[in-house]
Amino acid sequence: MQLVYQTNNLFDAHLVKHALEDAGIPAFVFGESLLGAGGELPLFGMLRVCVPDMAKPEADEVVAELALDAGPADPISDDDEAPGFLPA
């Protein structure tokens, strides 16, 4: 098994898994059962999406097309204008 995507967001992990399956690539999400655990486990990067060894090059292309990490670092910006709202 080869790692193609690692995240701490369950939604992103399953989005990648389903995109890979739609492309005909078997994919597996590892670490789901650890989400509720705490204590000495690391809190980030527990979710891993893996594919069979032979499918890794094609899977990397599918994951890159999703561009999940391409969003702005700060989703709320002072430059955003909301029509109809005026400062108090």
Which domains are present in the chain? 2-66 (3.30.70.790)
The per-residue pLDDT for 57 is: 94
The per-residue pLDDT for 46 is: 79
As a 3-state breakdown, the chain gives helix, strand, coil percent values, each rounded to 5, of 35, 15, 50
Place of tokens 């890159």: 64
> Helix (H, G, I), strand (E, B), or coil: what is residue 38?
coil
The per-residue pLDDT for 67 is: 83
pTM, to two decimals: 0.70
Q: Answer whether residue 56 shows pLDDT above 60.
A: yes
Considering 6-10, 14-18, 40-44, 71-75, the range whose residues carry the highest mean pLDDT is 14-18
The average pLDDT across 52-56 equals 95
The per-residue pLDDT for 33 is: 77
